Amino acid sequence: MGLLYLALSLNTLNNKILIYDFNLARQFENNIIGIIKRFKPDILGLSLKTVNFHDGLKISCIAKEINPNIITIVGGPHITTSMMNENNYHFQLTLMEMNKNKADIGVIGEGEETFKELAAVTSYSNKKELEEIKGIIFRSGNKWVKTEDRPLIQDIDNIPFPDYSFLPYHWTYDSYLMITSRGCPSKCSFCDARVIWGGVYRQRTAENILAEINFHTHTLKKSKEFLISFTDDTFMVDQKRVAEICEGILKNNYKINWQCEARAVDTQNLNLLKLMRKAGCKSVFLGLESGDANTYKKVLKPNSFDLVLKAVNNIKESGMAVVGSFIIDFPWDNNKTIRETIKFAKSLELDSISCAFATPFPGTDFFNKYDHNQKIYRYYSDDLYKNYDIGIPKFLNDELTLNNLLNYQKELYFSVKNSFIPLKRKNISKGNLENYFSSSCLINRR
């Protein structure tokens, strides 16, 4: 999604743009070589998370081998969170990886304005010109230069709607992603949303959101029902806004189904939930995290057992499905706390379950407290970043071994009939990781 927004900002400069999603690629290296040779880009932009940072940077190295003059720009969650604190070991490790893979520039924070300014640079060897661009870190000789922080975009209604026509294949799917806010007002210690979005919660107006739904409905000529996934970190913070969106969907008779993520604290209003269902909402994804009350306190999660129970019951009563998200393998977890979580999950009327292992993402309070000395378990000894996959246990001890934790995860999934059972890690060959931990890139020709 991020690259679609960047493409729109570049399109005003009359650039020729191609977006390629390597989540869809089967032959990672052959695909990127073929695209670079055919498209002959001036700029290659990469959007990378922590888990795919190492593999994703290989694209930069491959591109430079084909054409050393290509400018490679790296953005996404990992760069933003790792560049916040120069004392964080990920800061130096990230720059070392960028050096190794010949990346030129890192974009820190929101990229719409930054990338547009970078695309307009007349000479990338001109240090003074780059120093005037806020929110980047760039290579100058053997050193890296970090510029002034870029302020957040205050009114995100002004950001154009993403245009799927930039993708290299015709968009024929009956589902779309929409982001209606940036950030989250909660302060959960394990979540990197506050770090990525600068600790500020901003939201689009209901009018602006309805205009984008109208765009998908009419501009893309969708005559039948299609699905919209609202991918906000939390969609229901502003109850009045949610009601306005629902009323607008009904008033305009949009033929859509949709789903969203929410906090338990925001799903206590049964009448609002019924309105959501009437307006086409099919399911709500709830961050429940644990069945251990002490864990709620430790991670600063605004949950309680009574709050969660009422949230689940309200959503079910309104006629929607509930997906419960849990996290196990916190540093303080033991057999008893995980058993309590499984018992709690079974007591709820959930339709599906998501279960992740606690992961100390760079920049979070959780990282600062528990991973500042690289103490996490390394399933992949050759690449630190792959171990930040939420499907891999991090905090092992004599009581919670790797196999024990994987079995607990499986038990959680099997506690609900319809839950998705993830592929076992041992079935993922290391030779195939380029496909598993894939990346997305934006290619620009000026």
Quote the mean pLDDT of the chain.
86
For 299, the token pair is 């991670």
- Give the DSSP per-residue string, 82-101: HSS-TTSHHHHHHHHHHHHT
Cα of 14 vs its chain's centroid, Å: 29
Q: How far apart are CA 126 and CA 386, in angstroms?
A: 35
Q: How far apart are CA 441 and CA 59, in angstroms?
A: 9
For 108, the token pair is 């820190």
Question: What is the bridge-based pairing of β-strands 105-107 and 136-140?
Answer: antiparallel
For 310, the token pair is 């009422």
Task: Indicate yes or no: pTM above 0.85.
Answer: yes
- What does the pLDDT read at residue 444? 57
User: Tokens 């900002």 identify what position?
Assistant: 9
Position 374 confidence tier, pLDDT thresholds 50, 70, 90: low
pLDDT surpassing 80 at residue 21: no
CB atoms within 10 A of CB 165: 11
Position 16 confidence tier, pLDDT thresholds 50, 70, 90: confident
pLDDT surpassing 90 at residue 22: no
- What does the pLDDT read at residue 183? 93
Q: How far apart are CA 119 and CA 31, in angstroms?
A: 24
Q: How far apart are CA 190 and CA 89, in angstroms?
A: 18
- H helix count then E strand count, the chain: 17, 15
Least-confidence region, from 85-99, 289-303, 320-334: 85-99
pLDDT tens for residues 108-143? 999 999 998 998 887 888 889 999 999 999 999 889
Q: What is the CA radius of gyration of the chain?
A: 22
Whole-angstrom distance between the N-terminal and C-terminal Cα of the chain?
A: 22
**Strand blocks (E) in 97-212:** 105-107, 136-140, 143-146, 175-178, 181-182, 202-203
